[in-house]
Chains A and B, each alone.
Chain A
Amino acid sequence: MSFKRNVVSILALLVVAAVSTALAGEKNTPPTQKIPKGAKVFVAPIEGGYDTYLKDAIAKKKVPVEIVASHDQADYEITGTAESQKASTAKKVILGNWHSREEASITVSNIKSAEVVWAYSVHEEASTHGKKSSAEACAKHLKEAIENQ
């Protein structure tokens, strides 16, 4: 009788252990959101040739990453979207503003894990230097993100 009781208690313990392990496995862990210095980054084509402005800004702001020309060589990929609207006649006449309206949003993702590690969006209602300004804003914040982690 005591043997049977022991077997039942062991089985019950095993079931409890298995359930707790399964529950622990289901819990999501926070991603390791880090872009290491000197990481190889590929800038994917962005509409309006914004990727060119972004590459230039990354170089100008001395962001500690290495830009590569091929997606296969890269560890990280920058994708995004950008929109530029030149000042209309109404804006020039009524508001006396010649500057364009710039909007951009970029995403840095780890190619291996497919996780997005960093993202940023910028909006400039009257951008003095157009796309260049918004690209430099993206690069500046990317640099901050890499250096402050």
Chain B
Amino acid sequence: MPRKLSLISQTLVALILCLAIYPLSARSSTSQENNSNQDQNQTADAGNPAPGDQTKVPVSNIKSAPTDEGQLATVNNAKIPSYAKVYVAPIPGGFENYIIAGLRNKKVPLTVVIDRTKADYEISGVSDSEKAGWAKMLFIGSQNSNEQASIKISNLKTGAVIFGYSVHKTNSARGKQSAGEACAKHIKQIVLE
């Protein structure tokens, strides 16, 4: 009988200790997630996060890598299957056309569709173009424009953003065409061939 009592008491103590330790360990793991730039264990298609976690998930999943032209970010090394159907959303200034032309020029194995409902992925973004002013022409002798654009690719089924890229070209020899091709070149890196 006393042995039984001692066993029960030991179990109770263990339970209480577990309950006391668990919140501490959970808190420390959360702070580790916030500090690290990437979390390899989480899947790219984590689904829709809870409203409270919306700010946490992208920060922990996005991995940035320096490139020669801009900033590239992929989520857990996410890949797009070849010939996946991609919809390029309208971008102010008609930059979506330059992206599509860039995808073709760079031979990116994707199928671009004009109907969003038929697509698996969506490319959206912003672009900005700054023409050369008189000072640039006078002092530098350059009439090339400054181009900047930023795009992201999202999985339309899960809603997860799987890729992001931004490009900035100070003296773009071919204007928007160069920026569109730079975007396409980097999209190609995440397409499975």
Q: Which residues of A contact B (CB under 8 A)?
A: 27-31, 47, 79-83, 85, 88-91, 94-95, 97, 101, 103, 105-107, 109, 113-116, 118-123, 125
Cβ–Cβ < 8 Å partners of A114 in chain B: 113-115, 118
Cβ–Cβ < 8 Å partners of A94 in chain B: 134, 137-138, 141
Q: What residue of chain A has the Cβ atom nearest to residue B116's Cβ?
A: A114
Interface of A, helix, strand, loop or mixed by DSSP: strand
> Of A91, A115, A121, which contacts B102 at CB under 8 A?
A121
- Across chains A and B, the number of contacting residue pairs, with CB separation under 8 Å, is 107
* CB-based contact B111/A28 at 8 Å: yes
Q: Binary interface profile of B, 93-131, with partner A (CB < 8 Å = 1, else 0)?
A: 111011011111100010111110010000000000001
**Distance to closest chain A CB from B115 (angstroms):** 4
* CB-based contact A109/B101 at 8 Å: no
Cβ–Cβ < 8 Å partners of B82 in chain A: 28, 30
Known: A88-B134, A103-B177. A79 touches B97 (CB 8 A): yes
Known: A30-B109, A123-B174. A97 touches B115 (CB 8 A): no
Q: What residue of chain B has the Cβ atom nearest to residue A85's Cβ?
A: B131
Q: Which 4 A/B pairs are nearest by Cβ-Cβ distance?
A: A81-B94, A90-B134, A105-B97, A28-B83
* CB-based contact A125/B144 at 8 Å: yes
Cβ–Cβ < 8 Å partners of A79 in chain B: 97, 114
> Of B83, B118, B180, which contacts A29 at CB under 8 A?
B83
> Of B112, B134, B144, which contacts A116 at CB under 8 A?
B112
Known: A85-B131, A97-B143, A121-B101. A116 touches B114 (CB 8 A): yes
- Inter-chain CA distance A91–B137, complex, in Å, is 7
* CB-based contact A28/B84 at 8 Å: yes
* CB-based contact B137/A107 at 8 Å: no
- Inter-chain CA distance A89–B138, complex, in Å, is 12
